[in-house]
Structure 1
Amino acid sequence: MKKRIAFIGAGVMGASIVRHLLQAGYEVVMFTRTKSKAEPLVKEGATWADSVGAAVVDSDFIFTMVGMPKDVEEIYFGEEGILSSGRKGQIVVDMTTSSPSLAKQIATAAEEKGISSIDAPVSGGDIGARNGTLSIMCGGDKQVFENILPILSVFGEQIIYQGGPGAGQHTKMANQIAIATNMIGVCEAIAYAQKAGLDPGVVLTSITSGAAGSWSLTNLAPRMLEEDFAPGFYVKHFLKDMDIALQEAELLNLDLPGLQMAREMYSELIKQGYGEKGTQVLYKRYEGQ
């Protein structure tokens, strides 16, 4: 018999993950702050819970995927949160991109209650979530990782154990650092092609298969050309990730000028009202030149 999974959060990626779990035959009970976000999934077979505690109490596994570290703190450490409502033997898996230090705090507090914890942020955006091909970066106890691997395999493709608590989040920071500066390069390549009088779509055909190839170039550059700025990953969340990475880098005495530049550019997009758009909206910075 398949185990019961509580899933907290139903954003752009979370909703697709829940669908994969349902299709794989898992019983999924959900809670989101905005119930309307969960209603389509309830129609597809998920069960609605009225609170985090109600979702957690009878579940074997608890997955969380929310927006900000403060949201993670609330659902784990709140009065009716996961750690106050959970029980010995459960496994909690936080898939939110959050701070490594918070992941370590959760792991320590969970262990005191006999609950196992894995930090498992993902990469791949809305496309990866829909296709079940997410890259999942995991930190925590290796045996616990092995125990949940069959579940992660339902919606992930590249699932790698990185080390102890917080290691998954550190790996995600490295991922976000690489994306931040790469996105600038993608935008500037398209802007240059257009300014030179080339057909940018044809240019993309050439450069995506060469040394310049990247996930962003293949998946987000075409959206830029179509003026499709719908979020696969929100600008506001990306800015949060860059802030975490810069804070962690400071603790490591590491200077990251490329990341700092990208952070400033995305901060301007927030000021212009693009926080709810996808990260590819950075291309607007180059339009009209």
Structure 2
Amino acid sequence: MQTKQMKIAFIGLGIMGSNMASHLAKNNLNLTVYNRTPKNFEHFGNSNVTIADSVKNAVKDADIVFSMLSTPQVVEDVFFGTAGALNSMKKNAIWADCSTVNPSFSIRAFEEATKYNIRFLDTPVSGSKIPAENAELIFLVGGEENTLNEIQPYLNVMGNKVLHIGDIGKGASFKMLVNMMLAQSMLVFSEAILLGEKMGISKDFLLDTIPNLIVSAPFTKSKALAIKSNNYDVQFPLEWMHKDLHLATITAYEHNQPLFLANLTKEIYAGANQNGMGRDDMSAIYKFLELKK
């Protein structure tokens, strides 16, 4: 990677963030990382990554701050207000928020960042654990193109495509559409498999065949393997899919747009979450429906 050496901070080292930050570390960048809760930093091996003891110390010298946090409330807690990260960042630094949040929150984050003379981009990603491990994420960006150009080399390290969707909030908007379709597609696929079983068709045949049909979303191939082996190790936590559906319904309300199917889907994921499947992969929605048959 050839670019002007900048100081980078990465905030949030969960399933996605730890893998994303590890790719930056492998490129010998000037990287500082921070996680709110104690974390195993084995992803970074023997690299010269600095592990900060507070978010303020993580961001204070950074030219670019990436964040990958779980919910809008967590982003607000970490970044907003006099005790937040924005108050400790350098003037004219860039904050690129990779968290999945609702578009109106991204606009609010931009407004908050502007108070501190911080440049902001919403940069959520399309992809889950495996694409993050393989640097195959797609970044969905909202904000100024010139600011995007400055961080693009680092996005290219963590992913293999960058889509500039539009102005502030548009990256978050597009991510919302992607996850809304992902959740519903997983539900439709699960219902089809379960009905097929009830009609006497082999479960293995269904799981081997339906994902290869033109009517099926490509991601169902990997989810079929999970269902077949009854292995719901987390790639995309079901509880965060439920959260994303909730954010979609909030956004629909803000725009006076009915979401009949997404609201129903949200309640089904809520049921699975309530039944202790929140930390399973989102494909565990099949397991939840199976219990109801």
Whether the TM-score (by the shorter chain) exceeds 0.5 is yes
Identify unmatched segments of 5+ residues in structure 1.
none
Shift of 1:60: 1.4
Task: State whether structure 2 residue 130 is matched by structure 1 residue 127.
Answer: yes
Please report the TM-score for the alignment, with normalisation by the length of structure 1: 0.93
Shift of 1:200: 3.6
Contact 2:11–2:35 (8 Å) recurs in 1: yes
Deviations 1:189-224 (A, max 9, x none): 322343344444443443333312324312222112
Residue in 1 aligned with 2:86?
A: 83
Contact 1:3–1:60 (8 Å) recurs in 2: yes
Shift of 1:44: 4.0
Q: Distance in 2 between matches of 1:215 and 1:13?
A: 21
Residue in 2 aligned with 1:61?
A: 64
Contact 1:124–1:133 (8 Å) recurs in 2: yes
Alignment root-mean-square deviation, CA: 1.7
Letter in 2 for 1:286: L
Task: State whether structure 2 residue 10 is matched by structure 1 residue 7.
Answer: yes
Task: State whether structure 2 residue 65 is matched by structure 1 residue 99.
Answer: no
Task: State whether structure 2 residue 194 is matched by structure 1 residue 184.
Answer: no
Moved more, 267-276 or 195-204: 195-204
User: Which of 137, 157, 180 is matched with 2:140 structurally?
Assistant: 137
Residue in 1 aligned with 2:277?
A: 274
Deviations 1:68-90 (A, max 9, x none): 11100011114332210011121
Aligned to 1:220, the other structure's residue is in SS state: helix
User: Which of 15, 20, 27 is matched with 1:17 structurally?
Assistant: 20
Q: Distance in 2 between matches of 1:205 and 1:225?
A: 9
Residue in 1 aligned with 2:43?
A: 41
1:267–1:126 distance in 2 versus 1, CA, 3 Å: same
Contact 1:176–1:241 (8 Å) recurs in 2: yes
Contact 1:234–1:278 (8 Å) recurs in 2: yes
Contact 2:123–2:140 (8 Å) recurs in 1: yes
Q: Distance in 2 between matches of 1:44 and 1:183?
A: 39
Contact 1:2–1:25 (8 Å) recurs in 2: no
Q: Distance in 1 between matches of 2:265 and 2:109?
A: 30
1:276–1:78 distance in 2 versus 1, CA, 3 Å: farther
Aligned to 2:276, the other structure's residue is in SS state: coil
Shift of 1:42: 4.8
Contact 2:62–2:90 (8 Å) recurs in 1: no
Contact 1:201–1:222 (8 Å) recurs in 2: no
Letter in 2 for 1:67: S
Letter in 2 for 1:176: N
Identify unmatched segments of 5+ residues in structure 2.
none
Aligned to 2:212, the other structure's residue is in SS state: coil
Residue in 1 aligned with 2:168?
A: 165
Contact 2:142–2:165 (8 Å) recurs in 1: yes
Letter in 2 for 1:133: E
Letter in 1 for 2:269: Y
Aligned to 1:96, the other structure's residue is in SS state: coil
Shift of 1:111: 2.5
Shift of 1:229: 1.4
Residue in 2 aligned with 1:175?
A: 178
Q: Distance in 2 between matches of 1:16 and 1:202?
A: 35
Aligned residues: 288
Residue in 2 aligned with 1:242?
A: 245
Aligned to 1:89, the other structure's residue is in SS state: coil
Residue in 2 aligned with 1:223?
A: 226
Q: Distance in 1 between matches of 2:211 and 2:231?
A: 19
Aligned to 1:35, the other structure's residue is in SS state: coil
Contact 1:186–1:221 (8 Å) recurs in 2: no
